[in-house]
Amino acid sequence: MKNFRIASVAALSIALTAGASLAADYPDRTINMIIPYGPGGATDISARTLAEPLGKVVPEALVMVNRTGAGGATGSVSVKHASADGYTMLFARVGSHTVNPAMKDTLPYTLDDFRFVGVYEINPVACAVRSDSDIDSLDELASKVQAEPGSVTYSSSGVGALQHIASAMVLKSFGVEKPLEQAVHLPMKGGGAAATAVLSGTATFICTNSAELASFVANGQFKPLMVTTTEPVAGFDAPSAASLGHPELEQLVGWTGVAGPKDLPDDIAAKWGEWLAAATADAGFREKMEARGSVIELMSPEDSAAFIQKQYEVFRALVDELGMRISG
C-alpha cells in the first residue's frame, strides 16, 4: 500500500511537469478518438478505416472510442468537456455538427465549442424512389406533393439527421412551399431502416448519402433522381443538382472530420493537419473509402471550419424559414 502511494505521488509529479511542456512533446501517450455513433455505422467505419493509415503516422497509439446516443450529441458533449490537450479528439459528422446545431435549440453544444482540424471525407447526397414508382424526376415528385398533400412521405434515420433536412431542402428548392405540411416525414431508427422503408413502400422517397443507396441502385431496386455533387457519382445514372438548375443544393453533402475542444492549441491543430494529410494520401485508404462511395478530399483546419460554418448557416436559414426548429 505504501509503495503504491509513493508510486502514485511520483506519477502525479511526473504528470504535472509533463503538463507544462505539453505541446512540445505531444503526443506522449495514447490518444482517445471519440466516435459519437455506434459500431458499424457510416462514421464508425470511416473512422476505423482512417485509423489504419493514421496509426502509422501518429507516434502514439490511437484508441477508437464509441460513445453513442442522441444523434451524436452524447459523444460530442464529452469532447466539448474534455481538456484541450489533444488527447481527446472527435470524429465530427454532418449530423452531429451542422444539422443538429441548426435544428435543435436544446443541443448541449454549439459549433463554437469545437476546433476543427480537418474535414477528410465528403459524401455526395442522392435522392431516390423505388424503381417501380411512377415518379421519374424531382419535378414530378414536387408537383405530386403539391397536388396531393400528405400523399408523399420521406424517411430519415431520425429527427436532426441529414436525411431529414435534405428531403425538406430538396422539396423546397423544387418549389414546394411548405414541405413540412405537404409531405410527411417518417423518422425511422437508423439509416438502414430508412432505406428499407422506401424499399417496402412505406416511404415514397429518401435523400441520403449515396453510399447508403449504392447497392439498391446497382440492384435495380431504387431509381436515383438526383445527386447533389457537380461530379457524377459512379453507378448513379441521375442528373446533378446544378444541371437541374439548383446549384444551391450543392451545399447538401455529408462529411466526416476531426475536431478537438475549442481551446486546442495551435501547434497541436497544426500537427493534426499534417497527420491527416499523410493519412489521407494513403492509397489503400482512398481505395477502400472510394469503394464505399466517398470522396476523399482533405481540407485545411481553416477551410474545414469555414466549410462547416457555411453549411451550418445554410441549414439554419432553411430551418428558420420552414419552422423546423426544435425548442423543447
Site for other proteins in 96-135 (CB under 8 A): 103-104, 106, 108
Collapse the DSSP code of 295 into the 3-class scheme (helix H, G, I; strand E, B; otherwise coil) and give the result: strand
Segment contacting other proteins by CB under 8 A, of 120-128, 224-232, 271-279, 286-294: 286-294
Residues 267, 269, 273, 275, CA torsion sign: positive
Least separation in angstroms between CB 242 and other proteins: 27
Biggest CA pair distance of the chain:
80
Question: Rule CB under 8 A: is residue 178 a binding residue for other proteins?
Answer: no
Number of residues counted as binding other proteins (CB under 8 A): 75
Among 20, 220, 231, 283, binds other proteins (CB under 8 A): 220
Nearest to other proteins of 11, 306 (CB atom): 11
Among 126, 138, 188, 269, binds other proteins (CB under 8 A): 188
Among 43, 96, 123, 153, binds other proteins (CB under 8 A): 153
- Is residue 183 within 8 A of residue 154, CB to CB? The reply is yes
Which residue shows C-alpha cell 414530378?
Answer: 140
**What are the beta bridge partners of residue 326?**
104
Nearest to other proteins of 24, 200 (CB atom): 200
Q: Which grid coordinates are listed for 327?
A: 425548442
Q: Site residues for other proteins, window 235-274 (CB under 8 A)?
A: none
Least separation in angstroms between CB 9 and other proteins: 8
Tell me the C-alpha distance between 219 and 278, whole Å: 36
Least separation in angstroms between CB 183 and other proteins: 11
C-alpha atoms less than 13 angstroms from C-alpha of 177 in its C-beta half-sphere = 3
- CA 185-189-195 angle, 5° bins: 70
Question: Rule CB under 8 A: is residue 170 a binding residue for other proteins?
Answer: no
Least separation in angstroms between CB 322 and other proteins: 12
- Which one-letter amino acid corresponds to residue 299? M
Tell me the C-alpha distance between 228 and 186, whole Å: 22
Q: Site residues for other proteins, window 189-218 (CB under 8 A)?
A: 189-190, 192-193, 195-197, 199-202, 211, 214-216, 218
Give the number of other CB atoms < 10 A from CB of residue 258: 24
Q: Site residues for other proteins, window 287-306 (CB under 8 A)?
A: 288, 291-293
Nearest to other proteins of 289, 298 (CB atom): 289
Q: What is the phi/psi pair of residue 247, to 5°?
A: -60, -20
Least separation in angstroms between CB 192 and other proteins: 4
Nearest to other proteins of 185, 262 (CB atom): 185
Tell me the C-alpha distance between 328 and 322, whole Å: 17
Please give the distance of CA 276 from its chain centroid, rounded to a whole number: 17
Nearest to other proteins of 39, 245 (CB atom): 39
Among 59, 150, 175, 245, binds other proteins (CB under 8 A): 150
Which residue shows C-alpha cell 461530379?
Answer: 231
Q: Site residues for other proteins, window 29-88 (CB under 8 A)?
A: 29-30, 32, 34, 38-41, 44-45, 48-49, 51-52, 63-71, 73-74, 77-78
Q: Which of 236, 183, 184 is nearest to 213 (CA)?
A: 236
